[in-house]
Structure 1
Amino acid sequence: MINAIEIMNKSPLLADVNITLGYRIMDSCSDVSTALRATADFTQWTGCYTRSNTYGPPVMAVIGAYFSEISIAIARQLTLKMIPQISYSSTAVILSDKNRFPAFMRTIPNDEHQIAAMVSLLSTYGWNWVGVVTTDGNYGQSALDHFVSQASEKGICVAFKSILPQSVTNGDVCSAIMQTARTICKNPKVQVIVSFAKPTHMMYLYQELKNQTLGAGQKMETMRRVWLASDNWSFSSHVKGNITLEDIGHIMGFTFKSGDLSSFNDYLSRLEAAGPDYIRNNKFLQEFYMHLNSSTYSGETELVSKAVNRLREHTHAGTILSVEMAVSAIAQAVVLKALWMKEFKFRKNSYKFDSNGDINLGYDVTMWRSDGGNIYVHNVVAEYHPHSNNFTHTDHSSTQQLQDLKQIISKCSNSCVPGQFKKTAEGQHTCCYECINCTANYYSNNTDMDQCLSCDIDTEWSPDGSSSCIPKALLYFSWQDGFAVVLLTFSALGILLALLVSALFLHQRDTPVVKAAGGPLSQVMLFSLVISDISAMLFVGRPNSFQCKARQALFGISFTLCVSCILVKTLQILLAFQVDPEMQEVLRRLYQPYIIVSICVAVQAATCLCWLLLKSPFNYVIRHPTTLLEDCHEGSYLAFGENEGCIYRTEE
């Protein structure tokens, strides 16, 4: 804060107009009451500068506080006199309500964006069974409510909610932490815990977890979890106490965007070079000096160096950027409206408070790592972009670190594999379910499906527990079928024999034997046999409309032609052996070979034509549970019977 103010005072923005920013820094001691007394102190004389100049010029703006609970309390006081307040760390959503806090602004995003980032991360890794640890203040309750709301929309269930007293001096805090530790130990399936608590709470919680784990005779590895740390404690390495990071598990923190720290590091270097004389005039460094002096016998110069190094360790880059941005905004502002609505320059970039008084730059995602006993909390592995709600990895190493986390499972129930669906019992969390196999003709093609999908029963089927539908096998009288091969072989032989006999008869057509066999009628009969054998081929292969209509009609007409020729032969024989003159004369008059053949064929053709015109055969599919049988439907079985009857009557 001091460094940022000194930089702005030396900048051309203020130096050219001979304006100097003064400051009065007051420590809230992380306590609301202390912060309220301090706020009342400087607001009492703000606006009554003419009565007394003991305190100097009136306060024009306030930067802070760190914790949301404190910012909410003092914002109510500052709103009465419309004194601008800019926080560099308070993220409670309620502070974005301009009807209640019109004078409040901040250089960071509110918790809705942080919670959205957390929920997105949980969803990405498939962690849908999580615990939440928070405090009972405005910040903790608001964060809990928003997290539960956003998590439920993504199908993430909260296994337990542990609400700790906000003040660590509260007498109930110890029992609350003990109960929280017991809850965590009793929920081994909850491998991911989201925490909005304060650093001190987390330090006590980790210690209690260790005590209960060892007290139960369990190994330390059983307390390992993935901890999603809010900006409240994501860079507070001291929370681990005397417990190793390996025992705690993985800590992923969400921190504010960091920037260039060169100016702050230069400032610390100047402090270190100034030595003990300068530190006596800096109350904040004196606190470090006093703590170090009570635990070491080093010289004053060495104590100053240690105090400065301790500052380097415990000051987060994101906080520094937010503080510097707040100071820069105030330096460029004249009145509240200008501060809120107009853009301001900071490090060659333009920034602007939105309608809620926030500046949303996104978050850095850190993963704590241990190296040689030292904890590195500023290990940035990804960046969260709130406008697109996605993450980008910083480098290949960070990608690998995040990929390793996918091995961790935090679910109430194991995932239902494809072929199953989730069945949740009444009153249970939606994340706790039983996996049931899909029934026949139903399937699920993804994990954790809420219901099975139906197959198209006309063309598909599936057995129990199937992950996909199986096309029904299409069956018909195939050319490769054994019976079809035999049928076609005999048909081919019949055609060949008929053609050979026809050729022989044609060659010997003038001989008495051929003439006695019927002459031209023999050729007609042989032709009809060839057509009948050819029609047999229409019964083989995948049926189509033409085949279904042609095969019965062609066979019926050709076979009728053959039988009518045989009828003529029969009449010829009867005529030859008839001894009764009168009967012989009748038979001789009736014996008109070509007329008889034509009439028989015409009757059969007329029958087939009526059949085809009125209700012709068609191809159709008979659907069985696992197969499709494609066949020809005769259309009208009455017409089919009439067709066959004509052949029978001809034979008679």
Structure 2
Amino acid sequence: MLLLLLLLMIKKNIFFKNSCNNFTILDIKSFVRSLAMVYTIDSINEQNLLPGIRLGYIICSTCASASKAIQATLGFLSKNGTLPISCSYEDYLPMVKAVIGAGYSEESIAVANILSRFLMPQVSYASSAPDLSDKLRYPSFFRTVPSDVYQTEALAQLFSSLNWNWVGIISSDDSYGVSALRSFLSNAENVDICVEYQLTISSFVGTPNSNLEITKAVQTIKSSTAEVIVVFMKAELVIQLLTEVINQNISKTWIASDAWSTATIVAQINDFYKVGNIFGFSFKNGIIDGFEDYLRNLTPGPNAVNAFIEEYKRSRFGCNENLTNSSECMSSSSGCAQSSSIQIASPEVCKIKNPLEANDDFLVENLDHGGTYSTYLAVKAIAEALQSLLKCNGTVCNQSLNFPPWKVNKFFTKYTFIHCELMHIFEQCSEPCKAGTVKNISKISCCFTCVPCPAGYFSDSDDMQKCTPCQSYQWSEIGSAFCLNKTIEYLHWEDGFSIVLLSFTALGFLSLLFTTVVFTLHFKTPAVKVAGGDMSYIIVISLMLSFGSVFCFFGNPSYYSCSIQQPLYGISFALCVSCILVKSLRIFLAFRWKFENGKKLFKPYFIITFFTGLQGLLCCMWLTMKSPSVQMQYFETSILIQCDHGSSEAFGIMLGYIGFLALICFLLAYKSRKLPRRYKESSFITFSMLVYLFVWVSFIPIYIKNVGVYQPAIQVAAILASNYAVTCCHLMPKCYIILFKNDCNNPESYIKSIRDSIRLHGTKLSVILTNNAEKAITSTPGNLDKYANKLRRRHKSC
């Protein structure tokens, strides 16, 4: 039950209690607020703030009804029981000069519509509806609490800061509920708060329509996903709502507006704790000096009629039949049925002889500091306005008390206070999206599902709208909250495969050095002559350069290594094959053609220079027009660094050119394959070139197919195979003869082998016996038999 408080300029204080049929229990909160007004008025009178004048008051109960409030208002505006009808009430002089109240906005609006006609000042201690701020409609209305515009804006900002974007709203259909709902929805939309439902309940408490609406509202709450519910209703409706919530075993988080956030009667509901968490907005709290002692020693006061104090004391300290028969309920917490009088009764109630003289700390324990302080401010504001209007000093007031109420308005000081407690509670339509996921928004902007970031993307905080791509040098798995640096890959020196290839390269170098030493020590022997003489050194140097090109394929590629590796191999091996071509051509001319006929064609060093020069020219053009470079290939978790050939066509032509020279060598050697047993150069040339052609024909598809870190290793393997084919077929056999067949390493042995071949085949052959002289050996098989047999006996072991 709320109270309409009326302030009068009289010497007598009166409490008038209306009949409230809907309530059988005294509203402690409203009762204490009325006591705060009485205490403040008495304090002002004692302090002599208005010298020679005492403030008086009439207190009427509105029964939480606008019609009751209007009835009381018309009563104190009248004179001698009547209210005159006039076009202007500028000079109308009612006994009442100002009104304090009411508590609920619905009642204050009803009263303000009447008082504004008379321009009588009205100060509310709790009404916060935004409509009351309209000075055109309510020019004489004031309040010591802020408008709901500020409360709903604070609610929206609070929800936004705590990421609450999925809520339900319940409001009453009166002016307070409608205006608060409208204001909150406007503010919520500005900060992207979504409302799952908004329910309106009739403000007439206890009616069948109200009960049905509350039942439907609770069913909606039970089936909803919103965990936070904002309630803009007066305390009496909230009691009905939460009682049904407890019966349905529902636990939510409730946001209480100022209308019921500090209502004691709400907290007295049985099993109140079961409703869940309740957080409320309340107005500025303050301590009224001496007020708690006043409540502990409460009396109506001299010459005062206070029906409310009498009702309270009888309810608190009066023993009656209900209390006697229900003593077990008084000491029990099991929730047995209790009458309204028992709910505020003292445990010692039936031991007290005179209830009207009894007191305890019950009112202090239920003190509503916010409401009582606002009431205190309302009384103080009116008193200060009167002090200014009546020009009061410390001893006397210089103006007559016979003034119309509207003159008080311009002397009001506005009081605006707001106070709220912050909560830490999560409330959204959907669970928050953790780092590594992003929101997939549904049709409702506040509802979403969490989708993991794809590979190569990340989200490093909660509730991100989209994934952030990793940098080109980074990678991430599906659903990652961060990116990892990609592994840099190239053919490392310490790789196992690299170590094997480098070992064979080193072995090749050693074999070439060994060959050089052997050939140098036995340079004038036929074996060295047959190997090519001076030309054998060119072959060794070219093979060393070819082996050297291998080192350019390992390690972190650079511009210089990429530019050198292919030309160095291409030119060096072209030089090697050119030397072998010269040897093939010499054998072919010597054994398959009359040497005198081909002598003009046989220009060894010109041939070597010409064919090697063509390869060098090709490589120079390659480097000039489209030089190789360092290439970075980005894979999912790694970055492959390799050499880009620049021009695949030039790379193919370079290899094809060497292959062309090798094919000519092979054909010339194959034509000369039936040579004397001692002279097997054509067979070695045939085999080495066949190996080369087979290796590089096989290399092309394997190289193209295997794109990765080991692609350079494939070419290295092909280079080593080619080098070893030449080394093993052209140089090692000669070293074997020099070192292990020394008795066969002489001119006679080679001549014998040639003559044996002539006798067997009956052919005429020309052979080059030395590097700088040719000698034709022509004879018939019969004449050579005797000489051949002699040589065979001499060189039986050869």
TM-score, normalised with respect to structure 2: 0.61
Aligned to 1:92: 129
CA separation in 2, counterparts of 1:34 and 1:103? 21
1:648 aligns to 2:685 (yes or no): no
2:419 to 352, 357, 363: 363
CA separation in 2, counterparts of 1:542 and 1:206? 74
Single out whichever of 579-588 and 536-545 deviates more from structure 2.
579-588
2:313 to 289, 298, 301: 289
Aligned to 2:64: 30
Equivalent positions of 1:273-352 (< 5 A) are: 275=299, 278=302, 280-292=304-316, 293=318, 295=320, 302-306=355-359, 309-333=361-385
1:244 to 260, 266, 271: 271
Instruction: Let me know the Cα RMSD of the aligned residues.
Output: 4.2
Q: Is the 2:519–2:528 Cα contact (8 Å) retained in structure 1?
A: no
Post-superposition Cα deviations, 1:407-445, rounded to whole Å, max 9, x if no partner, equal: xxx66555556666555665xx45555556666666666
Aligned to 2:219: 182
Q: Is the 1:129–1:156 Cα contact (8 Å) retained in structure 2?
A: yes
Report the CA distance between 1:610 and its aligned residue.
1.0
CA separation in 1, counterparts of 2:146 and 2:478? 51
Q: Is the 1:455–1:462 Cα contact (8 Å) retained in structure 2?
A: no
Q: Is the 1:119–1:150 Cα contact (8 Å) retained in structure 2?
A: yes
1:633 aligns to 2:644 (yes or no): yes
Report the CA distance between 1:10 and its aligned residue.
5.1
Aligned to 2:760: none
Aligned to 1:216: none
Post-superposition Cα deviations, 1:192-230, rounded to whole Å, max 9, x if no partner, equal: 33222211112222333444x3xxxxxxxx323322221
The one-letter code of the counterpart of 1:165 is: S
Aligned to 2:236: 200
Q: Is the 1:607–1:643 Cα contact (8 Å) retained in structure 2?
A: yes
The one-letter code of the counterpart of 1:586 is: K
1:549 aligns to 2:586 (yes or no): no
Q: Is the 1:108–1:358 Cα contact (8 Å) retained in structure 2?
A: no
Report the CA distance between 1:611 and its aligned residue.
1.0
1:235 to 262, 277, 286: 262
The one-letter code of the counterpart of 1:5 is: I
Larger radius of gyration: 2
1:143 aligns to 2:177 (yes or no): no
The one-letter code of the counterpart of 2:232 is: F
Q: Structure 1 residues 242 and 642, CA, compared in 2 at 3 Å: closer, same or farther?
A: closer
1:265 to 267, 270, 292: 292
The one-letter code of the counterpart of 2:374 is: S
Q: Structure 1 residues 525 and 361, CA, compared in 2 at 3 Å: closer, same or farther?
A: farther
1:67 aligns to 2:81 (yes or no): no
The one-letter code of the counterpart of 1:327 is: V
CA separation in 2, counterparts of 1:277 and 1:318? 25
| Secondary structure class of the residue paired with 1:139 | helix
1:613 to 624, 627, 651: 624
Q: Is the 2:251–2:274 Cα contact (8 Å) retained in structure 1?
A: yes
Aligned to 1:112: 149
Equivalent positions of 1:49-60 (< 5 A) are: 56=95, 59=97
The one-letter code of the counterpart of 1:320 is: T
Report the CA distance between 1:248 and its aligned residue.
2.7
Q: Is the 2:256–2:278 Cα contact (8 Å) retained in structure 1?
A: yes
CA separation in 2, counterparts of 1:161 and 1:646? 86
The one-letter code of the counterpart of 2:291 is: F
CA separation in 1, counterparts of 2:217 and 2:557? 74
CA separation in 1, counterparts of 2:570 and 2:290? 105
CA separation in 2, counterparts of 1:536 and 1:464? 41
The one-letter code of the counterpart of 1:91 is: S
The one-letter code of the counterpart of 2:183 is: H
| Secondary structure class of the residue paired with 1:228 | strand
CA separation in 1, counterparts of 2:439 and 2:115? 53
Q: Structure 1 residues 489 and 153, CA, compared in 2 at 3 Å: closer, same or farther?
A: farther
Report the CA distance between 1:311 and its aligned residue.
3.5
Q: Structure 1 residues 441 and 136, CA, compared in 2 at 3 Å: closer, same or farther?
A: same
CA separation in 1, counterparts of 2:600 and 2:71? 141
The one-letter code of the counterpart of 2:128 is: T
The one-letter code of the counterpart of 1:539 is: F
Q: Is the 1:441–1:463 Cα contact (8 Å) retained in structure 2?
A: yes
The one-letter code of the counterpart of 1:534 is: G
Report the CA distance between 1:7 and its aligned residue.
3.6
1:130 to 143, 167, 190: 167
| Secondary structure class of the residue paired with 2:553 | coil
Aligned to 2:695: none
CA separation in 2, counterparts of 1:606 and 1:504? 34
Report the CA distance between 1:137 and its aligned residue.
0.8
CA separation in 2, counterparts of 1:29 and 1:101? 23
Q: Is the 1:276–1:300 Cα contact (8 Å) retained in structure 2?
A: no
Equivalent positions of 1:588-627 (< 5 A) are: 590-591=603-604, 593=605, 595-622=606-633
1:489 to 503, 512, 515: 503
Report the CA distance between 1:317 and its aligned residue.
0.6
CA separation in 2, counterparts of 1:305 and 1:278? 17
CA separation in 2, counterparts of 1:248 and 1:177? 15
Gaps of 5+ in 2: 1-36, 321-348, 390-412, 665-798
Post-superposition Cα deviations, 1:477-508, rounded to whole Å, max 9, x if no partner, equal: 444544333222212222333345446666x4
